[in-house]
Amino acid sequence: MGFFYTYYIKQFYFSENLKNLTSKAKLLEKVIIDKNLDDIKNTDEIFKQLGRETSTRFTLIDINGNVIGDSHQSSSLMDNHLNRPEIMMALKNDLGTSIRFSSTLQIDMLYLAIPYYHNNNRYIIRTSISILDLQENINKLYFSLIIIGALVLIVSLILCFYFAQNIGKIFNEIGNHSVKISEGNFNSYLPENNIIELDNLSKSINSMVNGIGSRIKTISRQKNESETILSSMSEAVLALDLNGKILMLNSSGYNLFNLNLDNTIGKSVYKLIRNSNILSFFEEIIEKQDLIEKEIKMTNTDKVLISRGTILLDDLRKPIGAVIVFNDITKIHVLENIRKEFVANVSHELKTPVTAIKGFVETMISSTDNKEQNKFLKIIENHKNRLNDIINDLLFLSRIEGKNERNKLDIKKSNILLILEASNFECQNLIEEKNIPLKIECSDKIKMNLNPRLMQVAITNLLINAIKYSDKNSKISIVVKDQNKNLLISVIDSGIGIEEKHHGRLFERFYRVDSSRNREEGGNGLGLAIVKHIIQTHNGEILIKSEVYKGTTFTINLPK
């Protein structure tokens, strides 16, 4: 800044002196306007007197460069000035200036030259002054600037050292504070300081630490709660990423799969769990990205698991893996098999005495004319028929529940309309008794791979239910919809309907919405259970939609 200021002063000085030299050149013009310039002696005298009075050197030069007069030297002794820079510029541009060393006076001079016309002759008037004073003043200014700059530099260094010490101390505190934060200490806070910017930084860091500490406490509490809940669950919980690496496994999971707690997280499930059913289940979840439930048999043990799995999402709702819950139902499965075998065995054993009772009752009815005896025998026959139906239904259920029986299913491409018409024919007596017309909406081109005998039993049971619990002269319809991946068969009635609280248990054995009414209609509570198991053997599902006094719709959903 000081050197720029010095340069500006120097330029200003030259500019002002050039204006002064121009004014003096104009003054010389007026002084010699009526003089005889051929009188060299007289001209020299005029120039010298004017030079003494103005402290300026004046020189008059003709067009050929010859000096006519000079205020500081005899013109006769001076050499030709035609090659002087200021003279050459004046001849060319009507004004010439230069700063150079004067060979005549042996000092640095500032020159100004302008053209002058006298008696139709062209001359050059040159004025000049010494620049020694300017150089001395500039040198003094340079020295002052150096002294001032040195003082400013020393003071700045002292201040910088002082502030650097304070700032370094503050940054050391921030660094130590950061180390404490990284170690989990969120109770340490930075003190206030006198530097506004750093004080604001400290306050921001303290606020940030306070917020992070609060969030970490919340996250830790939630993590502990989640770990406590997961560790107390009897079900095994397994979380995997999209590539099958284990993200989380609770203690029940370690026990179920016999895994090591310290060497599991981050490892591939394909290497740790050698069960193709579980691996296929995981891949199915990733592919379908939906909630899936499946019964899985462990290949290396007799364990049976109910597995429920769904996709795992991140904060942006993008899939990042899957979470699966395994429930060990081995004991339940064993008890269920025992129950099925017991029911099948008991039903089979009851079949023989019931058949004998039937024969004896029929014989007694045909061999007696006693009305009172016949009345009681008819009652015995009705209960016998009811007991026989129950036994037949239980035996049928036992057969379709058995895995061997499922594997022996005679699956073939069947015409759905023919199955529906066969069921209609089987229920014809009931339909005629209540005068209920049956409307079937099904294309004769719809065909599907299934067991036609079992499907006819399922449709017939649904039709019987619809007829029994519908008023006379009401309507029943069967609607079939062929979708891309599914076949929907709906049995729709306008009967008394079923309250929603009963929907979840309708397909249980012997469950009755109203036991007294059910007995009046002749039901035994096994019909819908049979329907459910038939549909399950075809990997389908049955849905119910009902409203009291407005009717019921049972829909069979069969995957193609």
Residue 217 maps to a domain: no
Q: What is the 8-class DSSP label of residue 427?
A: T
In a domain, 162, yes or no: no
Contact in structure between 114 and 125 (CB atoms under 8 Å): yes
240-259 pLDDT per residue, tens: 999 989 988 888 888 888 88
The dihedral sign for the CA sequence 402, 404, 407, 411? negative
Per residue in 125-173, pLDDT tens?
889 888 777 677 777 777 877 888 788 888 888 888 877 777 777 777 7
> Reduced to 3 states, what is the DSSP secondary structure of residue 246?
strand
Same domain, 430 and 452: yes
Task: Give, as one character, the DSSP assignment of residue 485.
Answer: S
How many domains does the chain divide into?
A: 4
- Of 146-155, 195-204, 301-310, 383-392, give the lowest mean pLDDT range: 383-392
Looking at the fold, whether 123 and 52 belong to one and the same domain comes out as yes
Q: Specify whether 256 is located in the same domain as 283.
A: yes
Same domain? For 359 and 302 the reply is no
Query: Mean pLDDT of all residues in the chain?
Result: 79
User: Which residue type does 534 have?
Assistant: I
CATH code, 354: 1.10.287.130
- Tell me, yes or no, whether 519 lies in a domain: yes
Query: pLDDT at position 74, please?
Result: 80
Domain residues for the domain of 388 are: 333-403
Q: Is residue 281 a contact partner of residue 309, using CB atoms and an 8 Å limit? A: yes
pTM as predicted: 0.41
500 and 420, same domain (yes or no)? yes
Distance CA 199, CA 336 (A): 73
Which neighbouring-strand residues pair with 546? 552
- Is the Cβ–Cβ distance between 80 and 106 less than 8 Å? no
Spatial contact of 259 and 271, defined as CB atoms under 8 Å apart? no
Secondary structure class of 101 (helix, strand, coil)? strand
Q: Would you say residue 364 lies in a domain?
A: yes
Q: Which residue has the higher pLDDT, 191 or 26?
A: 26
Q: Which of 282, 303, 328 is the last residue of a domain?
A: 328
Q: What is the CATH number of the domain that holds 54?
A: 3.30.450.20
Compute φ and ψ for 318, nearest 5 degrees: -100, 140
Q: Is residue 258 part of a domain?
A: yes
Same structural domain, 358 and 431: no
The last residue of one of the domains, among 130, 149, 165, is 130
Residue 525 has pLDDT above 70, yes or no: no
Residues 471 and 523 in one domain: yes
202 lies in some domain: no
Task: Report pLDDT digits (tens) over 34-56.
Answer: 777 766 667 778 888 888 888 88
Answer yes or no: is 21 within a domain.
yes
List, for residues 194-221, the tens digit of each pLDDT value: 667 667 777 777 777 777 777 878 877 8
Nearest Cα to 83, choosing from 98, 69, 70? 98
Number of continuous H segments (helices) and E segments (strands) in the chain: 16, 17
| Cα first-last separation, the chain | 90
pLDDT of residue 179: 73
Query: What is the pLDDT at residue 415?
Result: 94
Q: Sheet containing 304-313: which strands, arranged edge to edge?
A: 246-249, 236-241, 319-328, 304-313, 292-297
CATH of the domain at 427: 3.30.565.10
**Given 113, 130, 147, which residue is the final one in a domain?**
130
What is the average per-residue pLDDT within 403-423? 76
Q: Do residues 413 and 513 share a domain?
A: yes
Whether residue 102 sits in one domain with residue 31: yes
Same domain for 307 and 399, yes or no, is no
Same domain, 423 and 550: yes
Mean pLDDT of 500-519: 65
Instruction: Looking at the structure, tell me whether residues 295 and 323 fall in a common domain.
Output: yes
Whether 168 is in a domain gets the answer no
Return phi, psi of residue 170, to 5°: -65, -45
